[in-house]
Amino acid sequence: MPNEVPARQLLHLVFGGELTRLDSVEFKNLDELDIVGIYPNYASAYAAWKAKAQQTVDNAQLRYFIVHLHRLLDPETDGRGKTG
């Protein structure tokens, strides 16, 4: 359709690594962080996170996270283009 507005790009980072303890988010070795990738929306980031989490389910110390980069890049908005 010619009048379609393209979806807003909301960048998300997926990464993980081995934690020092299960009750914290401190990594054992920052040099060994697994940067899975940067994705244009939450749905694709979630799919990548889920795949990595399922691959590493046998290691409780290894955790993957989704970081909302769009919120860091534009802290004045809530990620939907609205302020407040």
Percent of the chain with pLDDT over 70: 83
Q: Is 73 or 40 the better-scoring residue by pLDDT?
A: 40
Q: What is the pLDDT of residues 30-62, one digit of tens each?
A: 999 999 999 999 999 999 999 999 999 889 899
Fold classified for 12-73? Alpha-Beta Plaits (3.30.70)
With the CA atoms of 70, 29, 49 and 6 taken in that order, what torsion angle do they form, in degrees rounded to the nearest 10?
Answer: 20
The answer, yes or no, to whether residue 29 has pLDDT greater than 50, is: yes
Tell me the pLDDT band of 84, cut-offs 50, 70 and 90: very low
Strand partners of residue 14: 37, 66
Q: Would you kindly state where each structural domain of the chain is located, as residue ranges?
A: 12-73
Predicted pLDDT at 78: 58
